[in-house]
Structure 1
Amino acid sequence: MLIHPPRFWNMMARSYARRPVGNQAAYEYKLDFTASHLSSQDRLLEIGCGTGTTALIHAPNVAHIDAIDYSSEMISIAREKAKEQDVGNVNFEVSAFDCWPIPVKDQKYDAVLAMSILHLVLDLDATLDRVSNSLKEGGLLFSSTVCLEGVEKYAIPALGAIGLLPKIRVLTQEILVERMLAFGFSIEHNWRPENGSAAFIVARNGARRR
């Protein structure tokens, strides 16, 4: 479950959809890196998919994507985009990640996308545990997470508390990596642009609890 209730994101959805990407070069780097690790047979899950842009970009590279968000308005926009683009292999559904069923062994995902979402969840450990159990052994978690350092640790949460920004949890890059390792992931790639606060971490799922 996310820190903000669904009604917040429903109100934000249309303006969010019109907002340009904050760091286009970094976004394209993450897209290209992710695409280079996908195959046409892969099944993906995107959690917190928002208005569906990332899922629809990756759709031609994979067999199927389940893309979920607990904002019904975000999913409505994503479905509109899919129809306009004639994309048929992305299943957009309204669901919180903790309500989405964990696949049985033979149907686990090859990859999970968690782009701009891990800093918004109430329980990071529970989320990582659920990601691990949703992935095949050796499957990949692609994540882009706002990590706060210095004065950002105080300023951004304060702006969230008064409603000027979404509420986010205070995470550092080191803490995020440590929690991923604790849940059986190995870090394949750890990158952060100089002019951005989001850490792009690609982690491979291990054999813990299998």
Structure 2
Amino acid sequence: MFINPPRFWNLMARSYARRPVQNQAAYEYKLNITSRHLSPQDRVLEFGCGTGTTALIHAPKVAHIDAIDYSSEMISIAQEKAKVQGIKNVNFEVSAFDCWPIPVSGQQYDAVLAMSILHLVLDLDATLDRVRSSLKEGGLFFSSTVCLEGLEKFVIPALGTIGLLPKIRVLTQEILVERVQAHGFEIEQKWRPETGSTAFIIARNSG
């Protein structure tokens, strides 16, 4: 494999930060739906936070956010944005999700966000187990995940296999819902825009 994922995203970070959101209406819809489920006392974890845009938007609505990404350059950009915006309740840290400590009993998060990341994780089942362990009983898991269809499900993963892109997991919305449910979550809402490849799911830790 030619690509080291953290190095790839470090190289892409500045251009990624300048790139406009592909579907702004869908992004804002997901932000609005998520914000309706957040409360001022909530503690939130976002893994694969990228340049921090989503965490910073939600920050005024919650008590605290831990936002992590294994790309140090992405986190540097996020920290710069937080400083410019004067936001102090988001803790941006360089960390892979599987290296981030699971909270002890009684200190789990109220919500976990995984936006545009589940299709990139090496072990989906281990990741979902870790999400559940990080959430308090009744806590919410928000995810937006690329679900490939048509030629994309052959071409894009092939580019990952030969090392021209990070490896991308081929998922459908149905498979993703099934895996989330299998790990102890109840699906509260699922949505997919008419155009686009992302599936947005809200799931509750059933305990």
Give 1:122-161 correspondences, 5 Å limit: 122-161=122-161
**1:152 CA drift (Å):** 1.9
Alignment check: 8 A CA contact 1:113 1:143 kept? yes
Q: Mind listing any 5+ residue stretches in structure 2 that lack a counterpart?
A: none
Q: How does 1:1-210 map to 2 (within 5 A)?
A: 4-161=4-161, 165-207=165-207
Bigger mean CA deviation after superposition, 157-166 or 34-43: 157-166
Aligned-partner Cα distance in 1 for 2:56–2:128: 24
Between the aligned partners of 1:19 and 1:166, the Cα distance in structure 2 is 19
Secondary structure of the corresponding residue to residue 204 of structure 1: strand
Contact 1:59 1:89 in 2 (8 A): yes
C-alpha distance in 1, partners of 2:164/2:191? 28
| Residues 5 and 166 in structure 2, CA contact (< 8 A), matched pair in contact too | no
| TM-score under structure 1 length normalisation | 0.94
RMSD: 1.3
Deviation readout 1:40-93 (Å, 9 max, x if unpaired): 000000000000000000000000000000100000000000000000000000
Distance 1:74-1:148 versus aligned 2 partners, 3 A rule: same
TM-score normalised per structure 2 = 0.95
What is the rounded CA distance, in whole Å, between the counterparts of 1:150 and 1:76 in structure 2?
36
Give the distance between the partners of 2:15 and 2:150, measured in 1 at CA.
Answer: 30
Secondary structure of the residue aligned to 1:142 is strand
Unaligned ranges ≥5, structure 1: none
The one-letter code sitting in structure 2 at the alignment partner of 1:117 is I
Distance of 2:141 and 2:4 partners within structure 1: 23
